């Protein structure tokens, strides 16, 4: 493995401090150590940083005269407890003893010194720069810590060069999940990305979308704010204000006071404080001083249960505090373990008293820590620490405890201890790293395993501060679980600071009612007016700022959140109106068929001859075809029915009208034009005028139909514009007017010709019959046209059928029905003598005129 440039840069920059420190001491050493077959390093903050002015570059000295940082003390004792239990276990690493080296990482340079110290090979005081670290054995096989994300980013980058396993118990920065940059880093606390997801779900749960965001001035706070802003922007939540808590000046900082003033002026009621303990303490101290009350404060796991924050005098007046904390876990025996070691530490102080100022000296120790413990240089005042570990300490200590056991499990599998005895072979960091990534075990009823990013598959508890007078406590009111991400909240267990225990509001605008879109006002999308969505649109929950149009087959009323399916309407076969029309059509067909048979039987009689003879069958056949085309108007429109029904009716009706006009013209010719214009009459008869006229009229109609079908064919079409809630399924007959006008012209022509023969013999006078038929046709057309203008529902098809049926019935009733009546019931009128008498009477009358 080649040495990467960042590592060389670290060594180059830190060499002066490192060798300056080496020159002062007999050798680099941890502050608390115990020997073993394999050593695990631990980084904990136990003291504050010394403010002494230095005359030359050197490693920062932790201020050991200051009081012990109790939280860090409990954590490092948890590591000692874990190693003691592992060493006393007969099933885990049965014949192997673990040792430890614990460093006080109170500052960045102290953290860097400790990192380089654990990389030094055993019994050496330096780190060798090699071309490959595949067979490099550092002093420690793994590292537990540190607690700060800021320190961990440096440590993880260096340890990843050698692939030394590092398991942090409190570093939650999401950047550490990048395996391309930090391949050897793992942790037992969830990533800040997961914490942000939980906070966003909490904001959504109570509909808080107008918030302020504060963060500490370090990697934890800055990256937390950045991630939070990215996520809330996707969930319609606006940050009215964001700020970084200044580190300088403490709780009396003028910058901090100004920041709080601006925060209050924004008018937000909910503030997310993504901060470490120190900055959170300074901030809430200022909140109490400025008497900021009746607000909701959302905290992260770093400070939500820290005693440094809740013990601030007067903090119970600030409002409601809800925070996230690591999942509850019990660590039995920690308090007893610490108490048992107090006497040992007191004697350790006496033994090391002459060397309290020495940074590096520490005696060796054996596996029996209680009798051969080296000098406790980081805990010269630990014996004065009498406070028992609180819930926050115990839950964080369990993360340390589980991290040590994860290393032990990985080492157990690497050394082949499953057979009953461990091999005690050389352990290279990259080998152990692979085994730790694969661990999966249960510890104190909690699962310990890592995902592909080295993060634990755990969640958070949702806690709320509770005050009884001036006594502080907390309640667990819910939990956050991942995969899938979900937040469970017990609303009944929440006690708000508001009157009547109502959920505080924190929104720039009122909530829009259903079906009202948001119209943004100002720069923030959370500030808006509400506008109702118009009919035909709906408000999609994925986009609250735009009304989405409904689909073609859908509809929606005003202020709708969904689209409803339109009902498709057409004249079905089962409709009662259809049954009535179908009965009438069938009856007319039967009458036409019966008349055809009757005329065939009486073809040689005068009545049939006067009606046109064999031409009657052409007329009756055309009427039958036209009548059959009416069946195509029922049921769901199809391509075939739409294409055929109009041409069939138009052509058939044209044939019928042209035959009627021809018959009327022939009678007029015989009685009037033959004597006045004999040449015209001879030409009409010679060139078979009736057939030419009928053929020409029919051919013209056929040509018109073909042109219409080729240019704009009638096809099934859905009408979405007429009605809002329904779709009319019908045939498109946009060019039907041309065929209608043509047949109207033929009707007028037929009427004129028949009117010319109004004074002909009664048996040959068709004017009355044709006039009656055409009158019925005209009335039907006017009724249909009027209805078409004012009505466009599904029964418009029924009206069309009724109009066509009336027209066909009028022709049949006016032309054929009287002749059929004579044949059946007035046989005395159907004789040659009767017709000759009518002709003679007409001739005498004409002569007298």
User: Which CATH number fits the domain that encloses residue 324?
Assistant: 3.40.50.2300
**Residue 601: phi, psi to the nearest 5?**
-75, -30
**Residue 194: phi, psi to the nearest 5?**
-70, -40
Q: Which of 339-343, 450-454, 482-486 has the highest mean pLDDT?
A: 450-454
Evaluate whether residue 727 is within a structural domain.
yes
Q: What is the pLDDT of residue 2?
A: 40
Q: What is the pLDDT of residue 751?
A: 73
Q: Per-residue DSSP letters for 375-417?
A: --STTTTGGG--PPP-HHHHHHHHHHHHHHHHHHHHHHHHTTG
- The answer on 835 and 709 residing in a single domain is yes
86/326: higher pLDDT: 86
pLDDT grade for 734, boundaries at 50, 70 and 90: low
- The answer on 680 and 761 residing in a single domain is yes
- 3-class secondary structure, 787: helix
Q: Look up the pTM and report it.
A: 0.61
Cis bond before residue 50 (omega within 30° of 0): no
Q: Decide if pLDDT at 374 tops 70.
A: no
Taking alpha carbons only, the member of 321, 326, 264, 322 closest to residue 289 is: 264
Q: How far is residue 538's CA from residue 517's CA, in Å, rounded to a whole number? A: 9
Domain limits for position 757: 576-848
Q: Decide if pLDDT at 749 tops 50.
A: yes
- Beta strands 446-449 and 295-299: pairing type? unpaired
| Cα end-to-end span (Å), the chain | 134
pLDDT grade for 663, boundaries at 50, 70 and 90: confident
Q: What is the pLDDT of residue 97?
A: 93
Q: What is the pLDDT of residues 613-643, one digit of tens each?
A: 788 898 899 999 999 999 988 988 888 888 8
Average pLDDT over residues 772-790: 79
665/81: higher pLDDT: 81
Q: How far is residue 750's CA from residue 434's CA, in Å, rounded to a whole number? A: 103
- The answer on 416 and 465 residing in a single domain is no
Evaluate whether residue 229 is within a structural domain.
yes
Q: What is the pLDDT of residue 123?
A: 61
- The answer on 753 and 815 residing in a single domain is yes
pLDDT grade for 669, boundaries at 50, 70 and 90: low
Cis bond before residue 119 (omega within 30° of 0): no
Q: Decide if pLDDT at 200 tops 60.
A: yes
Q: Decide if pLDDT at 804 tops 60.
A: yes
Q: How far is residue 774's CA from residue 383's CA, in Å, rounded to a whole number? A: 122
Q: What is the pLDDT of residue 844?
A: 53
Q: Which residues of 525-538 are buried (b: 16+ CB within 10 A; e: fewer)?
A: bbbbeeebbeebbb
Q: Decide if pLDDT at 23 tops 70.
A: no
Number of domains in the chain: 4
Q: Decide if pLDDT at 248 tops 80.
A: no
42: left (phi over 0), alpha (psi -120 to 50) or beta: beta
- The answer on 754 and 648 residing in a single domain is yes
Q: What is the pLDDT of residue 704?
A: 86
- Beta strands 98-104 and 32-34: pairing type? antiparallel
pLDDT grade for 396, boundaries at 50, 70 and 90: confident
- The answer on 35 and 124 residing in a single domain is yes
Lowest mean per-residue pLDDT among 61-65, 440-444, 738-742, 779-783: 61-65
Q: What is the pLDDT of residue 766?
A: 60
Evaluate whether residue 427 is within a structural domain.
yes
Q: Provide the mean pLDDT of the chain.
A: 81
**Residues contacting 416, CB < 8 A, separation 6+:** 422, 423
Evaluate whether residue 507 is within a structural domain.
no
Evaluate whether residue 293 is within a structural domain.
yes
Evaluate whether residue 510 is within a structural domain.
no
Taking alpha carbons only, the member of 843, 653, 683 closest to residue 747 is: 653
In the block, residue with structure tokens 């570093």: 171
Q: How far is residue 289's CA from residue 414's CA, in Å, rounded to a whole number? A: 56
Q: What count of residues does the chain have? A: 849
CB 221, CB 274: distance < 8 Å: yes
Q: How far is residue 719's CA from residue 115's CA, in Å, rounded to a whole number? A: 78
Q: What is the pLDDT of residues 294-318, one digit of tens each?
A: 999 999 998 999 888 999 999 999 9
Q: What is the pLDDT of residue 816?
A: 84
pLDDT grade for 785, boundaries at 50, 70 and 90: confident
Q: How many CA atoms lie within 13 A of 483 on its CB side?
A: 7
- The answer on 210 and 123 residing in a single domain is no
- Beta strands 440-443 and 446-449: pairing type? antiparallel
Taking alpha carbons only, the member of 34, 11, 693 closest to residue 363 is: 34
- The answer on 156 and 50 residing in a single domain is yes
Give the sign of the dihedral formed by CA 274, CA 240, CA 481, CA 473.
positive
Q: How far is residue 333's CA from residue 240's CA, in Å, rounded to a whole number? A: 47
Average pLDDT over residues 248-277: 88
Average pLDDT over residues 792-804: 85
Q: What is the pLDDT of residue 478?
A: 92
Evaluate whether residue 511 is within a structural domain.
no
Q: What is the pLDDT of residue 737?
A: 65
- The answer on 809 and 758 residing in a single domain is yes
Task: Give me the sheet containing 166-168, strands edge to edge.
Answer: 32-34, 98-104, 38-44, 142-144, 166-168, 185-187
Evaluate whether residue 716 is within a structural domain.
yes
Q: Decide if pLDDT at 360 tops 60.
A: no
Q: What is the pLDDT of residue 343?
A: 54
Identify the CATH number of the domain in which residue 622 sits.
1.20.1070.10
pLDDT grade for 26, boundaries at 50, 70 and 90: very low
Q: Decide if pLDDT at 341 tops 90.
A: no
CB 618, CB 597: distance < 8 Å: no
> What is the SS3 string spanning 436-462?
HHCCEEEECCEEEEECCCCCECCCEEE
CB 462, CB 307: distance < 8 Å: no
- The answer on 558 and 606 residing in a single domain is no
Average pLDDT over residues 260-282: 92
Q: What is the pLDDT of residues 416-437, one digit of tens each?
A: 998 888 888 889 999 999 999 9
Burial group, residue 548, by CB count within 10 angstroms (0-12, 13-18, 19+) = middle
322/483: higher pLDDT: 322
162/344: higher pLDDT: 162
* Alpha carbon 164 to its chain's center: 41
Lowest mean per-residue pLDDT among 56-60, 481-485, 598-602, 809-813: 56-60
**Residues contacting 192, CB < 8 A, separation 6+:** 172, 173, 174, 220, 223, 224, 227, 300
- The answer on 537 and 662 residing in a single domain is no
Max CA distance (Å), the chain: 166
Q: By percentage, how much of the chain surpasses pLDDT 70? A: 80
Q: How far is residue 34's CA from residue 81's CA, in Å, rounded to a whole number? A: 13
Lowest mean per-residue pLDDT among 54-58, 675-679, 763-767: 763-767
**Residue 311: phi, psi to the nearest 5?**
-90, 0
CA dihedral 390, 392, 394, 396 (to 10 degrees): -160
- The answer on 779 and 645 residing in a single domain is yes
In the block, residue with structure tokens 């946009």: 734
Taking alpha carbons only, the member of 450, 448, 459 closest to residue 487 is: 459
């Amino acid at each position: 493995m080649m040495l990467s440039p960042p590592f060389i840069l670290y060594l180059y920059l830190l060499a002066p401090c490192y060798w300056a420190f080496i020159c002062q001491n007999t050798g680099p050493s941890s502050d608390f150590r115990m020997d073993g077959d394999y050593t695990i390093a631990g980084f904990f903050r136990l003291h504050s940083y010394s403010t002494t002015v230095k005359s030359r570059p050197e490693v920062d000295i932790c201020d050991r005269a200051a009081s012990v940082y109790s939280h860090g003390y409990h954590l490092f004792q948890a590591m000692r407890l874990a190693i003691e239990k592992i060493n006393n276990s007969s099933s885990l690493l049965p014949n192997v003893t673990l040792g430890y080296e614990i460093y006080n990482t109170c500052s960045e340079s102290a953290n860097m010194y400790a990192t380089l110290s654990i990389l030094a090979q055993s019994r050496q005081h330096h780190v060798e720069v090699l071309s490959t670290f595949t067979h490099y054995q550092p002093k420690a096989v793994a590292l537990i810590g540190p607690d700060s994300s800021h320190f961990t980013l440096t440590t993880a980058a260096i340890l990843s060069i050698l692939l030394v396993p590092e398991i942090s118990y409190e570093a939650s920065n999401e950047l550490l999940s990048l395996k391309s940059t930090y391949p050897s880093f793992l942790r037992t606390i969830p990533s800040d990305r997961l914490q942000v997801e939980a906070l966003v779900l909490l904001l959504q749960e109570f509909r808080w979308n107008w918030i302020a965001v504060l963060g500490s001035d370090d990697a934890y706070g800055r990256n937390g704010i950045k991630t939070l802003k990215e996520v809330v922007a996707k969930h319609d939540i606006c940050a009215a204000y964001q700020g970084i808590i200044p580190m300088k000046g403490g709780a009396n900082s003028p910058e901090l006071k100004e920041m709080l003033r601006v925060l209050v002026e924004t008018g937000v009621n909910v503030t997310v404080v993504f901060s470490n303990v120190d900055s959170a303490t300074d901030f809430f101290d200022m909140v109490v001083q400025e008497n900021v009350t009746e607000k909701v404060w959302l905290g992260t796991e770093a400070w939500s249960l820290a005693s440094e924050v809740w013990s601030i005098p007067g903090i119970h007046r600030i409002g409601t505090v809800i925070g996230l904390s690591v999942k509850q876990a019990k660590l039995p025996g920690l308090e007893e373990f610490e108490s048992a070691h107090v006497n040992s530490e007191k004697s350790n102080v006496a033994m090391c008293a002459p060397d309290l100022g020495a940074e590096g000296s520490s005696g060796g120790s054996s596996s029996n820590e209680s009798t051969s413990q080296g000098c406790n240089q980081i805990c010269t005042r630990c014996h004065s620490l009498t406070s028992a570990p609180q819930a926050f300490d115990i839950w964080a200590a369990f993360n340390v405890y589980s991290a040590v056991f994860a290393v032990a499990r990985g080492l157990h599998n690497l050394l082949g201890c499953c057979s009953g005895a461990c091999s005690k072979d050389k352990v290279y960091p990259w080998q152990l790293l692979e085994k730790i990534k694969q661990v999966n075990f249960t510890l104190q009823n909690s699962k310990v395993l890592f995902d592909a990013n080295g993060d634990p598959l755990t969640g958070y508890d949702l806690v709320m501060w509770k005050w009884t007078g001036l006594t502080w406590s907390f309640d667990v009111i819910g939990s956050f679980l991942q995969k899938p991400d979900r937040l469970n909240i017990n609303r009944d267990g929440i006690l708000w600071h508001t009157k009547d225990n109502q959920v505080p509001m924190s929104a720039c605008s009122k909530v829009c009612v259903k079906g009202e879109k948001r119209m943004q006002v100002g720069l923030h999308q959370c500030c808006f007016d509400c506008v109702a969505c118009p009919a035909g649109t709906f408000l999609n929950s994925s986009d609250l700022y735009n009304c989405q149009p409904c689909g073609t087959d859908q509809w929606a009323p005003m202020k709708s959140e969904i689209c409803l399916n339109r009902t498709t309407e057409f004249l079905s076969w089962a409709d009662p109106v259809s049954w009535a029309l179908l009965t009438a059509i069938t009856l007319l067909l039967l009458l036409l068929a019966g008349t055809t048979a009757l005329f065939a039987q009486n073809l040689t009689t005068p009545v049939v001859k006067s009606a046109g003879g064999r031409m009657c069958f052409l007329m009756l056949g055309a009427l039958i075809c036209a009548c059959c085309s009416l069946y195509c108007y029922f049921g769901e429109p199809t391509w075939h029915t739409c294409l055929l029904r109009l041409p069939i009716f138009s052509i058939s009706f044209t044939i019928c009208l042209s035959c009627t006009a021809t018959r009327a013209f022939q009678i007029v010719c015989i009685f009037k034009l033959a004597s006045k214009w004999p040449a015209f009459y001879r030409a009409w008869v010679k060139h078979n005028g009736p057939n030419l006229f009928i053929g020409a009229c029919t051919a013209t109609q056929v040509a018109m139909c073909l042109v219409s079908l080729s240019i704009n064919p009638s096809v099934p079409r859905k009408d979405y514009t007429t009605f809002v809630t329904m779709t009319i399924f019908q045939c498109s007959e946009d060019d039907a007017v041309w065929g209608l006008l043509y047949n109207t012209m033929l009707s007028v022509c037929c009427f004129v010709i028949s009117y010319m023969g109004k004074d002909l013999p009664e048996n040959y006078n068709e004017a009355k019959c044709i006039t009656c038929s055409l009158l019925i046709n005209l009335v039907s057309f006017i009724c249909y046209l009027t209805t078409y203008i004012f009505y466009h529902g599904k029964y418009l098809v029924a009206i069309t059928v009724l109009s066509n049926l009336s027209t066909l019935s009028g022709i049949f009733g006016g032309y054929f029905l009287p002749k059929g009546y004579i044949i059946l019931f007035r046989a005395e009128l159907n004789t040659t003598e009767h017709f000759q008498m009518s002709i003679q009477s007409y001739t005498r009358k004409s002569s007298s005129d």
